[in-house]
Structure 1
């Protein structure tokens, strides 16, 4: 009976550890939750009209205004550690500036002003790096979600392709099954190509923000990193979806004979004979899978190339077409 409280305490510690672990995972993916916003004066225990703080405002108005903006942005930082470190550094800088504002010595004031500027620049760099981290992590999360979703969609598409004919008392024959498999291989290649395209071309996903320097060469305050991470997550899985549609569109144009630039190494009708497949048929079957996978990969890898082929698909004609 005496061990019951100890057991309850152990269970409580395990539950608390599990809760902290889940919270850390959530913060790693979506960023630290928003905290109660506060001003520098509140953090330092000053009133807004405190004489020392007002003296600093009169001495360095632009610098202090920038620090106030950086402090507000730091409270929205993606990582909790960055939020705490930047806020602490800015608080210490302003506290030192308040002490130096009462000094009439010109060199001391100049050194204090330089320190305020250095701390503001360091905070801006930390927040830039934090926003870049949020952007990259959001993009990677979106791409990973798209890649995980791809096999699920493939399995569902294959199940639907098998189930729909059964509703009409029919079933897919060998040519239709091979065509469906080729389409799914092309579909998967489009997802892989889209992911590879993003990895190669967007080495620094933060470049998508196109942040320009503000007045006086001072960089603007970073955007909300949590919102930026959400935007980039959507951008990541959106790229995968675009790869799906481009690959499927090219499959339909090529397999339907509308786009004749590429010729599949084998057709389903030629591989579905009455007898067993020969060695040449096996080689043609394998080449067909690689062919459609490559078409899908190229479609997802290069959107301009795929869109160009789609435009040409409306003008190309099969050699046997009388209009050609």
Structure 2
């Protein structure tokens, strides 16, 4: 029994980390704590001769303690400890001038560590948006079941509302169009997520990698994934009501609810479902009409650039007037 309980706790921990990320380390740790006993003088000399590399290693070690996955934290700690040990044991470190080959070694190792941190951030963002889309899709499935509860013996019957044939078909059409629009929004986001994890993480941190922890980015993107599903629902329903009410007449509908209930047209039901499923998918796929998921950073950069240019122009005009 104890083993089964331990297994269940392990699976819960693995599932939690996969969705929410690793738990926050309560004990802070610094780069100096990785120095082997007896190498303290070498570490001080390393900070004097290679201050830039020491600072970069310290920053990377701090970011590794906020990594999304616990395995990433452990592997980066081992890597940084190995790099620091190799440098402190190297006799070329004690030279009066920084050794070029030792500097190249540090640059290569730091570049690799930076790539692993960026990959962890991209994983957190992708994991968050995928979990959000999955939750939104499950909610959509629940909403699609609601028309089955409507009707004479369903929820509407409890309040004394009776629905005719055309009303039931219209209600089903609205829910199906909105549901397919939600899945169109999912496909739209997934298509734009390809090779854009780094862009999303930069947008979430305003270009500064160390501003927001990957776990926090995953939570934010999870909320945005659910939000995108409802954007697809709303857009698809808006298009459905506009077209079905006749406010906008772009093309003739293949079948109406009146024709379906009258039974005058063969295959009217199939044409009805196919038409509104296609309309709902296209409307949901264009959820990017809402506040863009991937281009906010560009807008921010353009706004900042225009503001800086305006400030520079104003400063130059002021200077010319003063002269």
Q: Aligned match of 2:139 in 149, 160, 167? A: 149
Task: Give the equivalent residue in structure 1 for 2:30.
Answer: 39
Contact 1:101 1:109 in 2 (8 A): no
Task: Give the equivalent residue in structure 2 for 1:294.
Answer: 278
- Alpha-carbon displacement from aligned partner over 1:118-157 (angstroms, at most 9, x marks no partner): 2111110111111111111111111111111101122236
- Shift in CA distance, 269/198, structure 1 to aligned 2, threshold 3 Å: same
Instruction: Provide the aligned C-alpha RMSD in A.
Output: 2.9
- Shift in CA distance, 223/170, structure 1 to aligned 2, threshold 3 Å: closer
- Alpha-carbon displacement from aligned partner over 1:69-104 (angstroms, at most 9, x marks no partner): 100000111111111111111122122223337744
User: Please, what TM-score do these two structures have when normalized by structure 2?
Assistant: 0.80
1: CA distance, partners of 2:157 / 2:245: 24
2: CA distance, partners of 1:164 / 1:15: 42
Structure with greater Cα Rg = 1
- Shift in CA distance, 236/305, structure 1 to aligned 2, threshold 3 Å: closer
Instruction: Classify the secondary structure of the residue corresponding to 1:272.
Output: helix
Task: Give the equivalent residue in structure 2 for 1:262.
Answer: 251
- Shift in CA distance, 26/45, structure 1 to aligned 2, threshold 3 Å: same
Contact 1:138 1:230 in 2 (8 A): yes
Q: Aligned match of 2:124 in 134, 139, 149? A: 134
Please state how far the C-alpha of 1:255 moved relative to its aligned partner. 0.9
2: CA distance, partners of 1:189 / 1:85: 43
User: Structure 1 runs of 4+ off > 6 angstroms?
Assistant: 304-307
Task: Give the equivalent residue in structure 1 for 2:200.
Answer: 208
- Alpha-carbon displacement from aligned partner over 1:24-75 (angstroms, at most 9, x marks no partner): 111111111111321111233679x943322111111111111101000001
Contact 2:132 2:222 in 1 (8 A): yes
Q: Aligned match of 1:76 in 66, 69, 82? A: 66
Task: Give the equivalent residue in structure 1 for 2:222.
Answer: 233
Q: Aligned match of 1:180 in 171, 174, 178? A: 171
Within 5 A, what are the aligned runs for 1:19-58? 19-35=9-25, 36-44=27-35, 50-58=40-48
Instruction: Classify the secondary structure of the residue corresponding to 2:246.
Output: coil
2: CA distance, partners of 1:161 / 1:242: 27
Task: Give the equivalent residue in structure 2 for 1:63.
Answer: 53
Please state how far the C-alpha of 1:205 moved relative to its aligned partner. 3.8
Range moving further from structure 2, 30-39 or 50-59: 50-59
Contact 1:197 1:301 in 2 (8 A): yes
Range moving further from structure 2, 178-187 or 76-85: 76-85
Task: Give the equivalent residue in structure 1 for 2:304.
Answer: none
Contact 1:145 1:237 in 2 (8 A): yes
- Alpha-carbon displacement from aligned partner over 1:245-291 (angstroms, at most 9, x marks no partner): 00000011011111111332111122223xxx36x33x111110111
1: CA distance, partners of 2:175 / 2:159: 23
Please state how far the C-alpha of 1:17 moved relative to its aligned partner. 1.4
Does 2:80 align with 1:90?
A: yes
Range moving further from structure 2, 197-206 or 131-140: 197-206
Does 2:238 align with 1:249?
A: yes
- Shift in CA distance, 67/104, structure 1 to aligned 2, threshold 3 Å: closer
Contact 1:250 1:306 in 2 (8 A): no
- Shift in CA distance, 306/122, structure 1 to aligned 2, threshold 3 Å: closer
Contact 2:20 2:219 in 1 (8 A): yes
- Shift in CA distance, 95/25, structure 1 to aligned 2, threshold 3 Å: same
- Shift in CA distance, 184/128, structure 1 to aligned 2, threshold 3 Å: same
1: CA distance, partners of 2:176 / 2:45: 70
For these two proteins, the number of residue pairs brought into alignment is 286
